[in-house]
Amino acid sequence: MFSSERLKGIDVFVCVAESGSFKAAAERMSLTGSAISKSVARLESRLGARLFDRTTRRVSLTDAGTAFYRTCTGVLADLEEAELSLRAEDAEPQGRVRLDLPAAFGRSQVMPIILRCIQDYPRLVPHISFTDRFIDPLQEGVDIVVTIGGSQVWPDALGHRYLGREWHVFCASPVYLAKHGIPMTDRDLEHHQCIAYGWPDGKLSPWNFAGERPGETVRKQVSPALVVGDGEGLVAAVSAGCGIAQLPSWLIQRQLEEGTLIEVLAHLATDGMVINLAWQKSREKLPKVSALLEALAANLCQPVEGNPRKAVDV
């Protein structure tokens, strides 16, 4: 038989994990630091596992703590869902919603939508993480994810919506092009400074070129003069005149419009990775989740395909 003793300390544990310190958790829960510390200690003793690595300034989850945190947040979410399901379907969106977003796309394209949404629903509490790795929303307890690329095979437990594709363009700063000239063919890139995206393991992301046949894409590795493992970092490097890069149009739309970056090799631009919105079906009817889904689908579901700007002479 389930014992209520197993629930003791879970709310404190989750609060400490999310706050990053016992002091911050104490302030959030209006408890003393001693009470927080004792509650976590009793929980660790009962579980027979150390949940946190402690330093004088901060605590961090151990591997066991991370696994237990995911389980606890899932249980608390289920309890919240059960409670909310008893309320009217048109209840005001409120409470915690976990979202995971691609780093650069999330900050520039998704965050403004979420911020407008919480202005409309001030009791909504989004918990947002940014990562460029592909996560499993079910395993990690995430309600809503925006994905760029990845498998297009979706588990039955996940709802999903296609938002479009990236459009990849070649670009450089006016200063760089004035100094080094404008490439007219892909072969010309051999004589230019190329800035490539690199992964932590040392692998380089290849560049995509439009092929001779309609819809054909040719992938090639370039010899880079600079490797950057972050989209916004790539934009900074190109804007500084360090070379030519291939970037998604959504990331550099403002720079293209302002003329601080110039598209080159427009005839070789091509579409990129698929952008999707995905969510846990079991939670899609919760007002807090459905409100965010509607806002994201309505505002992100804009045409992202298509060349936004023709090449400009320098």
> What share of the chain in percent tops pLDDT 90?
50
Residues 6+ apart with CB under 8 A from 296: 110, 113, 114, 144, 146, 277
Provide mean pLDDT across the span 157-166: 90
The encoded tokens of residue 25 equal: 């958790």
Provide mean pLDDT across the span 109-131: 94
Domains by residue range for the chain, with CATH: 4-72 (1.10.10.10), 83-164+273-300 (3.40.190.10), 166-272 (3.40.190.10)
Q: Rounded distance, CA 7 to CA 64, Å?
A: 17
Name which residue leads in pLDDT, 273 or 265: 265
pLDDT in tens, 295-313: 999 998 654 444 443 333 3
pLDDT in tens, 32-73: 989 999 999 999 998 899 999 987 677 889 999 988 888 888
State the chain's mean pLDDT as an integer. Answer: 86
- State the pLDDT at residue 303: 45
